[in-house]
A = this chain, B = another copy of it.
Amino acid sequence: MSTSSRTIDVRLTLKITSKQGNMKFSYPEIAVSKPLPTLADNEFESVAWGIENYGEDFKKLVVNKPAVGDQDVKIEMKFCGICHSDVHFALNELAAGSGSGSMYPIVPGHELVGTVVEVGRAVSRVAVGDDVAVGCIRDSCMDCKSCDSGDENYCAKGFTHTYNSPKSPAYSHIGGNQEVQNFGGYTQFDVVHERFVCKIPDGMELSKAGPIVCAGVTMWDPLKHWGATQPGKKMDIGIVGIGGLGTMGIKLASALGHRVVAISRSARKEELARSKGAHGFVVSTDPKSVEKEAGKLDLILDTIPAHHSIMPYLTMLSSSGTVVQLGCVGPLMEYSQLVLMFRRLSIASSVIGGVPSTQEVLDFCNKHNIYSDVKIVTADRLNEVYDELQDNNSDATRYVLDIKESLKL
């Protein structure tokens, strides 16, 4: 894997600095990189797989994790999903979530699945022996309107991402050396505040649980926010982009009882979309195909993570409908205000979901037997998996790292 030249190409593509009104966005050009300090008294060591310095390959590392505090849960990891955004973070392509460049050494992973092996004395939500999952959120202020309503992902002071984030001493929920960044789920053990730990429901396949706390909740939370999880409600829902997020969206919306229309630039995706539960299919580049659903969809979840026109989706919305963008798009997007106006349409965007939503989608997926298609890999294959994800993000299959097997290597 020729990491350096590859990452530089991608960074040039993604780099933007645009002044938008009073706000300025800038993706970082230089990553933060500093050697790990020695183990502190309030820490322990955990084997992990990460990238030590910017541009290098993945390798086995030993990182320091905080000792178990009163409200902490120590998890022995069994699996960790490999999300496409792990690629962005590991290769310093995006600053999203951290506010700064990637922090090396970096241990990715925000689809943690494991078993509780120790709990702090004040922990009440889980017990030793429970199978649990942790998603993208490791910390939040726990004291704002968003946190109070279970939307920790919109914490007014900013949530702390599971990895590639500085600790938040102001929140004082994460122990250990406060100068050292957080490391993610490609690791043997992790310690997480119980608030951000979800219970894996009885019967769920652990190897397939990881993507649910990332892709699953990313689709579930907007379905919930825009009314699609209300009991008995029947909606017409469009899902744009038939990759990992899109196929999860099709499965969830379909299991909720809605009519689901898959929308793709490519007619090749129809069979896949229908096999996941889509009732209709639209080729968004074909005006005749778009016209068939014109004015019919109440909600469209758009998973495209690149600049694109949303006008075909607006055409398909019914009066008072909403298109929600779930993929990160750096460049400015365009819309016609007049098109919104004459049917009271909305353009929105959301990112993952809070802890209550994460627990809900775990329970719902378990009940309805909804899983992503996964490929289980060991840590020695991380470099090639990252190469493949960079080349092709449109596949519906999610890779999952088998921690137990990786430790045997």
> Which residues of A line the B interface, CB within 8 A?
18, 20-23, 25, 96, 145-146, 151, 154, 156, 225, 287, 290, 295, 309-312, 314-315, 318-320, 322, 325, 328-330, 332-351
Contact = CB atoms under 8 A, between A and B. Distances in A.
Given A22-B287, A337-B328, A346 B346 contact: yes
A345 B348 contact: yes
Give the residue among A329, A334, A339, A349 with the most B Cβ atoms within 10 A.
A349
A21 B350 contact: no
Assembly of this chain: how many copies? 2
B332 A336 contact: yes
Nearest to A146: B319
B348 A347 contact: yes
A340 B349 contact: yes
B22 A315 contact: yes
A340 B344 contact: no
A347 B332 CA distance: 14
Nearest to A221: B344
Contacts of A22: 287, 290, 311-312, 315
25 contacts: A20-B334, A20-B336, A21-B312, A21-B315, A23-B315, A25-B336, A145-B319, A154-B319, A154-B342, A225-B320, A225-B344, A322-B346, A325-B337, A328-B338, A328-B341, A334-B334, A335-B335, A335-B347, A337-B349, A338-B349, A340-B349, A344-B350, A345-B349, A346-B346, A347-B348
Contact of A337 (B311, B333, B343): B333
A343 B342 CA distance: 26
Nearest to A311: B21
Given A23-B336, A154-B320, A329-B337, 16 more contacts: A18-B336, A21-B309, A21-B314, A23-B315, A96-B338, A145-B319, A151-B319, A154-B342, A156-B319, A225-B320, A328-B338, A332-B334, A334-B334, A335-B335, A346-B347, A347-B348
A25 B314 CA distance: 14
Nearest to A151: B319
A152 to B, nearest CB: 11
A20 B333 CA distance: 12
A140 to B, nearest CB: 12
Contact of A350 (B96, B309, B341): B341
The 6 closest A-B pairs by CB, nearest first: A21-B311, A340-B349, A341-B349, A346-B348, A154-B319, A329-B337
Nearest to A305: B337
Contacts of A154: 319-320, 342-344
Given A346-B322, A351-B342, A335 B332 contact: yes
A318 B156 CA distance: 9
B340 A347 contact: yes
A156 B332 CA distance: 31
